[in-house]
Amino acid sequence: MVKELHYSFFVIIPKILFNVHGGIIFSGELKPPLTGFWYGFDCAHLDDLMPFHLKKFPQFGINPSDVYRDINYVKKECESLAKQLKECEGTKLLENNSK
């Protein structure tokens, strides 16, 4: 969890700064009583194999270049993102400049 980010960081920098599968595509402010922000990514991009889509849209079949991102892959990406956020801790990127 990252606390008290500047608005420009919240909107712009996550897509540029953090290297995670498909980039940061979800973010938001935590709801009380929690404070801070959350960031997220997914594995539903072009070339990601999604079993749900195979069941729902069997007519499209499987693209040979699609890759299934299993839970171990996702855990590694989460750990990598957490490490990247930790590396930013204490930098001007994480200061609240709106005060």
Tens digit of pLDDT for each residue in 21-74? 988 888 888 889 988 878 889 999 988 999 888 888 888 888 888 999 999 999
Contacts 24+ apart (CB under 8 A), 84-92: 84/17, 84/18, 84/19, 84/20, 85/2, 85/18, 85/39, 88/2, 88/17
Least confident of 2-6, 22-26, 60-64, 81-85: 2-6
pLDDT at res. 93:
58
Judge whether 27 and 44 are in contact, CB under 8 Å.
no
> For residue 26, what are the β-bridge partners?
40
Its pTM stands at: 0.70
48 φ/ψ angles, rounded to the nearest 5 degrees: -100, 125
What are the boundaries of each domain within the chain? 7-92
